[in-house]
Structure 1
Amino acid sequence: MSKFSLFFLFGLLTHFGCLGYAQDSVYVRQILIKGNTRTKAKIIMREVAVREGDSLNKATLTDVLETDRRKIVNTNLFITVNIAVAEVSSTVIDVEIEVKERLYFVAYPVFYLADRNINEWWYERRRDLSRTIFGVYSRHSNLTGNNDQLKLRAEFGFVPNFEVAYSTPYLDKELTKRISLGALYVMNKTMAYRTWQDKLQFFQSEARQRERLYLYSVFSQRKGFYQSQQLELSYTQVQIGDTIAALNPDYFLHARQKQSYFLASYAYIYDKRDNRQYALDGYLISFSAAKYGLLPTDNVNLFSLAAAYTQYIPLGKKFYANYSLRGRMSLPQKQPFLQTLGLGYRNDLVRGYELYVIDGQQYGLLKTNLKYNLFNRTFDLKRYLKIKQFNTFPLAAYLNSFIDVGYVRNRYSALNNSRLANKLITGAGIGLDVVTFYNVVGRVNYSLNGLGERRVFFAVTRDF
């Protein structure tokens, strides 16, 4: 075979090979964004990996665009997000992103319970309506269209408190850095002054028993689509009455009536969940370190480390599983009651022990779930509601079974006569989770704990 024939054959193979490659790919001519009346396009594009001029493999195109859609959803700026492809030719496409914006500004009266959860109020506080907080809450979650937030809160009743906070737009062209500033004032008359047998003990009074001022600044940075970190510098001042100091000399240690300190903390999060509101796939990693007391004049000297790993696993046929491992340690061993954090606050608890607070310097927690999706629908209410932020109503329900295991280490458990510290505790049960719009999740659980107690527990949460 001549050299000319070899070159001709090589050219044909290369030509048809390139044609085969081109047929497997599409060229993104443009990206169109619709529905963003207030939100700047750059805030949406911050979440999108696809760019104009990209060549995308046809086989993975749907998955790539779905990943970008989920990232836009997780900004919590939109009720719905849809990404569609408009075919210009067999090898050229336009990508169309259509969003429906949330109601960004809300101002409404608030009324809620002062206790840790509705279960403590229902079972332990005998449904006492005087233990309620009422007031006015206003928030703009997209003040200038750059995902910046302004929050104002004025509340009265059982625990009067006032807060103002602002998170700036991104400070750099890459849209990765921002600063949050805030101030919070809280006043208590009736207050928890210690735990006894793993239950909070309250002192009732008509006079002020505690005042707290909290000033904070937080610098946060996003790295890529899934990583974020933040550095906080804050100042806290707390004053208690002489009665509280006498009832619990360890509230601040040494029967002090005043505590003031600077705090520096660092937190890292890698969040690759499909939906932050109610995740069904992906995982979340978090780590934090905090130093209480930066100056010699500070009344607290404490260091803490915390870490967590949660994984969500779709099992198929509408079944889902997830588990979470969490832990915290702090030094020194002798700590003020106010800074001694074990299990029982927020979501750091063994389900079935919602009525208990287990103080300690270290803890570990394992939470597991197996879920079944009963239904997942979005209702179009345009015929009945003309306000676009409310006429799309998503609703989903999941049957849930769970088993939790926890352990709290407390070197001074005799001070509060703890029955649950320094031993393994377990809880299990079944429940129903209902997920709807504006990040509201309602839960009803029937739980059994290691003490043989059986109860129905309720929770309504709203994740931002």
Structure 2
Amino acid sequence: MSILRISFKRGSLNLVSNKVVLIFVLVLSCCGTLLANEFVSDTLELRSVQIVGNGRTKDSYILRELSVSLGEKMPQALMDKAVERSRQNIFNLNLFNAVELEKSIDEGFLDLKIVVKERLYLLPLPIFFLADRSFNEWWYDRERDFKRTTYGIQMNHSNLSGNGDELRVKAYAGFIPYVEMSYNRPYIDKRQRMGLRGGLFFSTQKTLAYRTWNDKLDFYNTEKRMRERKGAYVEYNLRNALYHFHKVYLGVTGMSISDSIVDINPNYFGDNGKNLNYFSLSYEYRMDKRDNFQYPLKGQVFQARITKYGLGVFKDANQLDVNTVFVKYIPLSNAFFADLGFRGKVSFPKLQLYPFVQGLGYRNNLVRGYQLNVIDGQNYGLITSNLKWKVFEKQFDFSKFLKIKQFNTIPIATFVKFFGDVGYVQNFFPELSNSTLSNKVLWGGGIGADIVTYYNTALDINYSVNQFGSSKFFFTVRRGL
């Protein structure tokens, strides 16, 4: 048997070791170079931004909405998301009918072109609307009485100086004569963070909802003036981050009612008799990441507001309200969408003047199936849910017939939806309104359709049923929260 012996001299061993180390370093260097090249090729730097189509709106007001800054670098996937988010932010300014962002990529640099289609900003609008709480109340409970309508004119300039500032003048007659003038400037500082809004208003009424009874509004009709209301307000706005909004509101209001209202509802102004004067101070915070403020399908919004009625100046009102809203919007696919929301209110003290007692039944604070009811209470909670299916979406071009470019394209989208709501109103004095719906869990649901069109206004048509088996068709025009 022979034995194979292998041996190395010290010098040859060092030579082999050096070769191994050299090969290892070369391999690492090549891999690092490849990885670096791949990273560089996948990273984009925003080099330039061009804006087209903004005849009136200033560039700085649009650039404020970008989610990415000039010179900023990020992976292409993140850059694509930032560009899309920027498009949504610009559209949510409510100054444009359409917003498109065109991308041009050149050796790791991104050049962005923002193409906007401006709306018609100066709008003298003839106004005709129902004075009741909703179309459904007017249709089912008020015998479709056209005397219960308010009409007039509203002059709006929603982009007066090109900075998204709005001047609004309202002059209404009919069921509720009303005059208001207001001005809103979103940003007053160079950093575009702080804004101001202010206004004056005056209204009179000959027909007044003087109480809630059996969870419905009771009206008193006469040819004499039942209520007069006037006031002024100023609001400070702060947007310290792209999706975070703060508001501080200070207002003064004076109201007077007739002797007849005092006689039939002594709790209307309580011990104040026929006159009520008060200051109101509120703070509101909103975190808003919805893709579309008026008809969102993706994102979330949280809003909290605390309001103090009566600051000890007139000593006529003394109430504290805390309101919250949270809604989560979830895209399930390109055609299916869901949302789940919560609304709540707590207020103090327990015994409140009638104009300040508002539970469920106003605006979007309602359990669907109870659209005809007003459920008074000091506190409430509401959970809403929707499952939507987008069945139709198209832009209709009428440029051949309509030469006003702000109106020659009309977008229409239709959603079929299933919905369900659960709510509860806490009323410490149900006997004052003979309420049978407060202090119990209420639920309702149904099926409906939303038709979304110009200015993201949604016509809501639904068939609702509540836990007592009452069912009806309801119609609502909705915008925003």
Fold in common (TM above 0.5): yes
Aligned partner of 1:318 in structure 2 is: 335
C-alpha deviation, 1:255, in angstroms: 6.4
Aligned mates of 1:56, 1:95 — CA distance in 2: 15
Give yes or no for the alignment of 1:413 onto 2:430.
Answer: yes
Give yes or no for the alignment of 1:100 onto 2:117.
Answer: yes
| 2:157 alignment partner, one of 140, 163, 166 | 140
Aligned mates of 1:109, 1:80 — CA distance in 2: 25
C-alpha deviation, 1:274, in angstroms: 1.0
Aligned partner of 2:379 in structure 1 is: 362
| 1:276 alignment partner, one of 293, 310, 330 | 293
Aligned partner of 1:238 in structure 2 is: 255
C-alpha deviation, 1:277, in angstroms: 1.6
C-alpha deviation, 1:314, in angstroms: 1.2
3-state SS, counterpart of residue 387 of structure 1: coil
C-alpha deviation, 1:385, in angstroms: 1.7
1:363-402 correspondence to structure 2 within 5 Å: 363-402=380-419
Aligned partner of 1:327 in structure 2 is: 344
C-alpha deviation, 1:52, in angstroms: 2.5
Aligned mates of 1:340, 1:113 — CA distance in 2: 22
Give yes or no for the alignment of 1:442 onto 2:459.
Answer: yes
Tell whether the 8 Å contact from 1:365 to 1:405 is kept in structure 2 after alignment: yes
Tell whether the 8 Å contact from 1:359 to 1:421 is kept in structure 2 after alignment: yes
Aligned partner of 2:201 in structure 1 is: 184
Give the CA RMSD over aligned residues: 1.8
Question: Is 107-116 or 295-304 further displaced after alignment?
Answer: 295-304
| 2:68 alignment partner, one of 50, 57, 82 | 50
C-alpha deviation, 1:14, in angstroms: 5.1
Structure 2 alignment gaps of length 5 or more: 1-17
What amino acid is aligned across from residue 250 of structure 2 in structure 1? L
Tell whether the 8 Å contact from 2:295 to 2:479 is kept in structure 1 after alignment: no
Aligned mates of 2:444, 2:331 — CA distance in 1: 24
Tell whether the 8 Å contact from 1:343 to 1:408 is kept in structure 2 after alignment: yes
Tell whether the 8 Å contact from 2:40 to 2:108 is kept in structure 1 after alignment: yes
**CA offsets 1:139-177 (integer angstroms, 9 cap, x no match):** 111100001110000000000000000012512122111
Aligned partner of 2:86 in structure 1 is: 68
What amino acid is aligned across from residue 183 of structure 1 in structure 2? L
Aligned partner of 1:36 in structure 2 is: 54
Give yes or no for the alignment of 1:119 onto 2:136.
Answer: yes
C-alpha deviation, 1:304, in angstroms: 1.1
3-state SS, counterpart of residue 446 of structure 1: strand
Structure 1 alignment gaps of length 5 or more: none
| 2:191 alignment partner, one of 166, 170, 174 | 174
Tell whether the 8 Å contact from 1:262 to 1:298 is kept in structure 2 after alignment: no
Aligned mates of 1:447, 1:409 — CA distance in 2: 23
Aligned mates of 1:361, 1:108 — CA distance in 2: 37
Tell whether the 8 Å contact from 2:186 to 2:237 is kept in structure 1 after alignment: no
C-alpha deviation, 1:108, in angstroms: 2.1
Aligned mates of 2:474, 2:254 — CA distance in 1: 35
Give yes or no for the alignment of 1:346 onto 2:363.
Answer: yes
Tell whether the 8 Å contact from 1:249 to 1:255 is kept in structure 2 after alignment: no
C-alpha deviation, 1:59, in angstroms: 3.0
Q: TM-score, normalised by structure 2?
A: 0.93
Aligned mates of 1:450, 1:225 — CA distance in 2: 42
| 2:104 alignment partner, one of 67, 82, 86 | 86
How high is the sequence identity, in percent, across the aligned residues? 41
C-alpha deviation, 1:4, in angstroms: 9.1
**CA offsets 1:281-336 (integer angstroms, 9 cap, x no match):** 11110111011110253200111111111111111251111111111011110100
Tell whether the 8 Å contact from 1:31 to 1:51 is kept in structure 2 after alignment: no
| 2:216 alignment partner, one of 186, 191, 199 | 199
